[in-house]
Structure 1
Amino acid sequence: MSIGTKIVDYFKTSREELKKVAWPTKKETTRYTLIVMGLCIAVAVFFGILDGIFNLGLNKIISFR
């Protein structure tokens, strides 16, 4: 088998496999995107609060002298 034939076979097989994929609907994609964005914001807020708490604690320890 030549390299050209292998490449063509690869793309044919890839195309056939992509047809088998159960793609999400636009509504599902939007919903999952919003969930991910919401979770990212929630985690960022959580770590921001945690950072503030540690910062306050560290400042109290440092200024204790």
Structure 2
Amino acid sequence: MKIIKNCIQCKTCGEVIESKFRHDFVSCSCGRCSVDGGMEYLRRAAETMDEFVEMSQFEEN
């Protein structure tokens, strides 16, 4: 599968954050979660996986 959009929504502040390119580490405004990897890989940083809603989009190769 190919990554088309690499993004999540923080459940605390509601902000949607997106990593647009490799090593583009982006945190939400409250700092509870982060996203990284752009279209190369999916990386999430949060205390638990329940801190955010996965919103990434994929395409079949």
TM-score class normalised by the smaller sequence: under 0.3
Q: Which has the larger radius of gyration?
A: 1
Question: Higher helix proportion, which one?
Answer: 1
What TM-score does the superposition give when structure 2 sets the normalisation length? 0.20
The answer to which structure, 1 or 2, has the higher relative contact order (CA under 8 A, 6+ apart) is 2
- Which structure shows the higher strand fraction? 2
> Normalized against structure 1, the TM-score is what?
0.19
